[in-house]
């Protein structure tokens, strides 16, 4: 009898070793390496094909191709992220934090499809059928013709699917609960997750049914076994959100049949997830227009324009190393903006504690937010509120210049639709002026960040204007500024020492 081959696999990162180790050298996790069988399994490698067997059929690349057949579930935000609906024969992985609403969203989408006459099967490996029915009753979809099953064995699930009429959509909740007889390891391990996902993906390709796999995330915010599952499926969707906010964002990370930068916005209510048709209005609903340090950023998420509030707070630091706290943006990019303000614009801001927050729990990654972040920082430093009817977008270079960004016309049109009167961006955005500019909106263009700093400093509510202290490249009275700064520093050094000497002399007498 041939000896079974085994390997030692890390259950956290799927790294493989020839012998057992107490610590995984790849991810640093302790006691996560388990011995597993490497032979056979569903979808085994070349050894499953005997010598002299039939090979694969070769076809020409220039052959006739067919467009992907899609089925829309009726939830517009979900259809947007998937690229226009579920593609038949595709496998989709949906990940997110526990309790974020993955099962709720998929149950609502399954009910919508069932109401349209499609055959939908919902396989739950974590909850009993009675629990799924209770959730459906709470969501108001208990009368939908969704077929339920509570099973975790892959062979049993595949046998059940093959015995019945072919389904259009199959939801597996969740992939971590599945296990197969072909693998000798515990459910939820890397090998079980990989083998189970491969079996369900193979079934989707063979039958043309759409298979949706629900995946939990680890403590690092990643889907368990991501590197061994993501390459098998056709689309990977992350469900993001914060427990302190009612907003939920469905973001496409991978999509073979659509864009990978689309998002869908939902609001969690007592009756389930509700679509947000106009996210910009919802994100700006509770904005404090009269507060310093608040700027509205005209951003893009895929093909959708979004207006988002960026909040900044600059306060004197009592520490030798000032604090930097960033929520929803890149901390390294904030450090770059601060360096440009210090070196190119003469704005002395680095010695302060700086807090930056993207309102609404949204995460921004595009560099077009540079100008809005800089405007919010300068506004908080000077105490001058920015105009409530203005939006900001533009990329800042290391030389202090402001560069235009793509889709300027779409950003400007979205701002005009929501009643904004001004748009601040970099020079050279001719597209915004020719296509996006509205009669009710004025576009202000800046070639350097210093021009924007000077405009904010010249505001009548600015501390710089009241005390006549300006950034170095926008100074109207440089001698007076140098005199104030020099004498202020001297006085701050002398005053406490003079007071201590005075007290000592009084006590002596």
Helix or strand or coil: residue 335? helix
> Which helix H or strand E contains 170, and what residues bound it?
strand 169-173
Sign of the dihedral defined by the CA atoms of residues 486, 487, 488, 491, in that order = positive
- Under a CB-based contact definition with an 8 Å cutoff, are residues 370 and 394 in contact? yes
Distance in angstroms (rounded) separating the CA atoms of residues 220 and 198: 24
Mean pLDDT for the chain overall: 82
Q: Give the model's confidence band at 44: pLDDT under 50 very low, under 70 low, under 90 confident, else very high.
A: very low
> pTM of the full predicted structure?
0.74
| Residue 329 binned pLDDT confidence (cut-offs 50, 70, 90) | very high
Q: In this predicted structure, which of 257-266, 315-324, 438-447, 490-499 has the lowest mean pLDDT? A: 490-499
Residue 20 confidence (pLDDT) above 60? yes
Average pLDDT over residues 482-487: 49
What is the model's pLDDT at position 85? 92
Strands 247-255 and 235-241, sheet pairing: antiparallel
Helix runs in 284-428, H state only: 331-343, 370-382, 408-417
pLDDT in tens, 201-213: 999 999 999 999 9
Q: Mind listing the pLDDT tens digit for each residue in 430-468?
A: 655 555 555 678 888 989 998 888 888 776 565 555 444
Mean pLDDT, range 47-68, rounded to an integer: 67
pLDDT category of residue 46 using cuts at 50, 70 and 90: very low
Q: Is the pLDDT of residue 301 over 80?
A: yes
**In this structure, how many other beta carbons lie within 10 angstroms of the beta carbon of residue 26?**
13
In the predicted model, is pLDDT for residue 172 greater than 60? yes
* Residue bearing the bigger pLDDT, 357 or 15: 357
From the list 468, 477, 464, the residue with the least C-alpha distance to 383 is: 464
Q: Which residues contact 326 (CB under 8 A, 6 or more apart)?
A: 334, 355, 356, 357
- DSSP for 249-305 reads EEEEEEETTS-SS-EEEEEEETTEEEE-S-HHHHHTTT--TTSTTEEEEEEEETTEE
**pLDDT class for 49, splitting at 50, 70, 90?**
very low
Q: How confident is the model at residue 134 (pLDDT cuts 50, 70, 90)?
A: very high
Residue of higher predicted confidence among 9 and 76? 76
User: What pLDDT score does 24 carry?
Assistant: 87
Query: What is the average pLDDT across 234-259?
Result: 85
Cis amide leading into 174 (omega within 30): yes
Neighbours of 19 (CB within 10 A): 8
Tokens 């950034």 correspond to 471
pLDDT at residue 472 above 80? no
**pLDDT tens profile 330-344:** 999 999 999 999 998
Predicted confidence at residue 104, as pLDDT, reads 93
State yes or no: pLDDT of 56 exceeds 90: no
Give the mean pLDDT of 291-316. Answer: 91
Q: Which residue has the tokens 């959708």?
A: 304
Q: Which of 161-165, 228-232, 402-406 has the weakest average pLDDT? A: 228-232
Q: Is the pLDDT of residue 39 over 60?
A: no
């Amino acid at each position: 009898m041939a000896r079974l081959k085994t390997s030692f696999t890390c259950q956290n990162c799927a790294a493989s070793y020839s012998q057992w180790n107490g610590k995984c050298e790849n991810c640093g996790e302790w006691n996560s390496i388990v011995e597993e069988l490497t032979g056979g399994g569903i979808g085994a490698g070349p050894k499953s094909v005997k010598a002299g067997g039939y090979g694969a059929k070769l076809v020409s690349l220039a052959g006739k191709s067919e467009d992907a057949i899609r089925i829309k579930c009726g939830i517009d935000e979900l259809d947007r992220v998937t690229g226009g609906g579920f593609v038949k024969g595709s496998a989709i992985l949906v990940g997110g934090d526990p309790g974020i609403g993955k099962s709720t969203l998929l149950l609502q989408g399954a009910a919508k499809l069932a109401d349209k006459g499609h055959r939908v099967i919902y396989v739950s490996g974590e909850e009993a059928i009675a629990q799924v029915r209770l959730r459906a009753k709470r969501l108001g979809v208990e009368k939908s013709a969704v077929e339920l099953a509570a099973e975790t064995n892959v062979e049993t699930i595949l046998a059940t699917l093959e015995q019945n009429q072919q389904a259009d959509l199959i939801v597996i909740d969740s992939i971590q609960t599945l296990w197969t007889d072909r693998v000798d390891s515990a459910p939820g391990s890397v090998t079980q997750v990989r083998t189970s996902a491969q079996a369900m993906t193979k079934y989707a390709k063979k039958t043309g049914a759409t298979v949706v796999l629900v995946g939990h995330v680890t403590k690092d915010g990643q889907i368990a076994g991501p590197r061994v599952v993501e390459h098998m499926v056709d689309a990977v969707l992350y469900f993001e959100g914060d427990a302190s906010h009612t907003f939920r964002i469905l973001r496409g990370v991978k999509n073979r049949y659509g864009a990978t930068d689309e998002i869908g916005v939902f609001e969690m209510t007592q009756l389930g997830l509700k679509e947000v048709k106009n996210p910009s209005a919802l994100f700006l609903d509770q904005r404090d227009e009269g507060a310093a340090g608040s700027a509205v950023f005209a951003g893009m998420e895929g093909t959708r324009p979004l207006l988002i509030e960026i909040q900044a707070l600059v306060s004197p630091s009592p520490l030798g190393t000032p604090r930097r706290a960033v929520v929803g943006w890149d901390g390294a990019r904030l450090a770059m903006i601060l360096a440009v303000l210090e070196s190119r614009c003469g704005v002395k801001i680095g010695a302060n504690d700086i807090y930056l927050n993207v309102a609404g729990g949204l995460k921004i990654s595009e560099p077009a937010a540079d100008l809005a972040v800089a405007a919010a920082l300068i506004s908080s430093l000077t105490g001058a509120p920015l105009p409530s009817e203005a939006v900001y977008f533009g990329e800042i270079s290391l030389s202090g210049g402001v560069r235009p960004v793509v889709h300027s016309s779409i950003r400007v049109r979205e701002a005009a639709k929501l009643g904004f009167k001004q748009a601040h961006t970099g020079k050279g955005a001719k597209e915004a002026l020719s296509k996006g500019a509205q009669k009710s909106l004025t576009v202000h263009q800046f070639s350097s960040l210093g021009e924007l700093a000077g405009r904010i400093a010249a505001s009548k509510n600015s501390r710089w204007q009241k005390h006549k202290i300006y950034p170095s490249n926008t100074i109207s009275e440089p001698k007076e500024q140098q005199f104030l700064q020099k004498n202020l520093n001297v006085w701050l050094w002398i005053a406490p020492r003079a007071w201590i000497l005075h007290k000592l002399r009084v006590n002596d007498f």
